[in-house]
Amino acid sequence: MTDYEVEDAEFERVLRERYPNLRPVEKAPDNRTKAARPKSRESFRQWLTPIEEFYVLNHYPTPEIAPDEWRVSITGQVDEPVELSVEEIVEEYPTVTIPHTMECAGNGRAAFDDVDGEPRRYVQWRDSAVGNAQWTGTPLRAVLSDCGGDTSDGTWLAAIGGDAPDGEDVFARSLPMSKVVSDCILAYRMNGDPLPPEHGYPVRVIVPGWYGVNSVKWVTELRVMDRMMAGPEWEAYTEWQQRSYRLVGAGDDPREHESIAEFDTWEQTASGEISEPYLYDQNVMSLISHPVDGATVVPGSDGQIEVLGVAWAGDDRVESVAVSADSAELSSACSQASPGDCGKTWQQGEFSACEIEPNAWRFFRCQLSLPPGRHRLVSRATDEHGRSQPSKTGTPEAGLADDAYPWNSGGYGNNAYSHYGVDVIVESPDER
């Protein structure tokens, strides 16, 4: 067995033992990433995703931690650099608990397969690289002010992880200070339990409403800087900030930026002002959680089918969601080939009045009258700025035009609704 096969076998053993409701996700055998998803979208009928069902994405093997020896150092533009033990972080700083819907920027990547001529290098997420949890920790603002960190606008915080094996690129992210001081935390509990090893024990950063990649796990250093990590000086730290997790066209190399001022991923993409956008704030998204793909459903006594799901829009508010069942014909392809076949008419969904929290998904419910037969259901959410999920996953040629999510070689940020639909068979009540 290769080293990677040994690592993967160990990861799968941990899944079986501790996360029975997770399943490993398909990827190339020489890809080191460990990824697991909930076994069914029914998981998303729970507002809080239980740890046993919460997706995992680790670029390296889960590090072995001696919690008593773990230190987080605060360095760079600070009055006084400090080293904090986990105990100090827990005991000596304020404690807050906040919800955050974590979504991997690679969610929906599998939809890019048809147009990506490259081998399947990356983890082939279909639809379930997302989960919602309550995260408990201390505001980064408190930690930075305590050591006199420069938190003025335009500064950056490099969050550095301790998981990279020797000689590998350090997992690290540059976070804009405006976001850091507004709501980011150094978290040590997840849904009330200590952080599990796979989710960053003993401490991780949580960046509410932003793609998962920003929430650096196993944090060892927080460095206050006047720019992003870039250039030769930061060579070993820039893979996950400047090369991966960028929206890059076919054959392009992303340009390293030292600073940017727009952190809304969709805005970066649409405005074209920043070359090769960064994956920060999440694009508007929705997922049907019930009925699940392939289900047979019988209308209720009112003749209606109930559709349930979740919708979110990163650190923006999700404004509305609607469901369509127009692609009466066939299934898997309300697709790239004929996206026009779905989404002619839409039925507005209603949000649950409960659980309205910033940075967290909302439940929706929608009642549909459908004739017996096979139907493909798709959901489309719109955010507070009026931005809706586009209908299809684009081709490298198409760009943002034509209601298509822009193709990119890493397969990031895909929120095209046609990819996330479910096929259901409606039975006539008298067939029973």
Ligand X SMILES: Nc1nc2c(c(=O)[nH]1)N[C@H]1C(S)=C(S)[C@@H](COP(=O)(O)O)O[C@H]1N2
Nearest distance from C-beta of residue 157 to ligand X, angstroms: 15
Is the separation of the CB atoms in 368 and 328 below 8 Å? no
Position 59 contacts ligand X (CB under 6 A): yes
> Interface with ligand X by CB under 6 A: which range of 54-62, 301-309, 346-354, 355-363?
54-62
Q: For 63-129, where are the E strands, in sequence order?
A: 71-76, 82-85, 96-103
Is the separation of the CB atoms in 49 and 43 below 8 Å? yes
Closest Cα to residue 84, out of 202, 169, 166, 197?
202
Structure tokens at 372: 């017996």
Is the separation of the CB atoms in 379 and 311 below 8 Å? yes
Position 102 contacts ligand X (CB under 6 A): yes
Position 104 contacts ligand X (CB under 6 A): yes
Nearest distance from C-beta of residue 234 to Mo ion, angstroms: 21
Residue with smallest beta-carbon separation from Mo ion:
104
Of the candidates 7, 116, 163, 293, which one interacts with ligand X according to CB under 6 A? 163
> Interface with ligand X by CB under 6 A: which range of 109-117, 181-189, 212-220, 264-272?
212-220
Q: Which amino acid is at 418?
A: S
Nearest distance from C-beta of residue 155 to Mo ion, angstroms: 25
Position 56 contacts ligand X (CB under 6 A): yes
**C-alpha to C-alpha distances, 37 to 160, 377, 384, 411, nearest whole angstrom:** 25, 22, 29, 17
Position 217 contacts ligand X (CB under 6 A): yes
> Which partner, ligand X, Mo ion, none, binds residue 199 by CB below 5 to 8 Å per kind?
ligand X
> Which partner, ligand X, Mo ion, none, binds residue 112 by CB below 5 to 8 Å per kind?
none
Q: Whole-angstrom Cα distance, residue 402 to residue 392?
A: 9
H/E element holding 182?
helix 177-183
Position 104 contacts Mo ion (CB under 5 A): yes
Is the separation of the CB atoms in 61 and 8 below 8 Å? no
Q: Whole-angstrom Cα distance, residue 88 to residue 104?
A: 30
Position 100 contacts ligand X (CB under 6 A): no
Position 216 contacts ligand X (CB under 6 A): yes
Query: Which of residues 299 and 410 has its CB atom nearest to ligand X in the complex?
Result: 410
Position 213 contacts Mo ion (CB under 5 A): yes
Q: Whole-angstrom Cα distance, residue 216 to residue 227?
A: 18
H/E element holding 295?
strand 295-297
Query: Which of residues 161 and 202 has its CB atom nearest to ligand X in the complex?
Result: 161
> Interface with Mo ion by CB under 5 A: which range of 55-63, 159-167, 287-295, 317-325?
55-63
Query: Which of residues 104 and 187 has its CB atom nearest to Mo ion in the complex?
Result: 104
Binding-residue pattern over the window 60 to 99 for Mo ion, x denoting contact by CB under 5 A: ----------------------------------------
Angle among Cα 60, 360, 172 to the nearest 5 degrees reads: 30
Query: Which of residues 291 and 410 has its CB atom nearest to Mo ion in the complex?
Result: 410
Closest Cα to residue 202, out of 120, 281, 85?
85
Nearest distance from C-beta of residue 214 to ligand X, angstroms: 7
Is the separation of the CB atoms in 11 and 32 below 8 Å? no
> Interface with ligand X by CB under 6 A: which range of 83-91, 179-187, 209-217, 305-313?
209-217
Query: Which of residues 175 and 305 has its CB atom nearest to ligand X in the complex?
Result: 175
Angle among Cα 138, 141, 145 to the nearest 5 degrees reads: 115
Is the separation of the CB atoms in 166 and 158 below 8 Å? no
The alpha-helical segments, DSSP class H, found in 288-372 are none
> Interface with Mo ion by CB under 5 A: which range of 56-64, 288-296, 368-376, 403-411?
56-64
Q: Whole-angstrom Cα distance, residue 347 to residue 412?
A: 28
Position 58 contacts ligand X (CB under 6 A): yes
How many distinct helices (H) and strands (E) make up the chain? 5, 24
Nearest distance from C-beta of residue 36 to ligand X, angstroms: 9
Nearest distance from C-beta of residue 98 to ligand X, angstroms: 15
Residues that bind ligand X (CB under 6 A): 54-59, 102, 104, 161, 163, 171, 199, 212-213, 215-218
Residues that bind Mo ion (CB under 5 A): 57, 104, 212-213
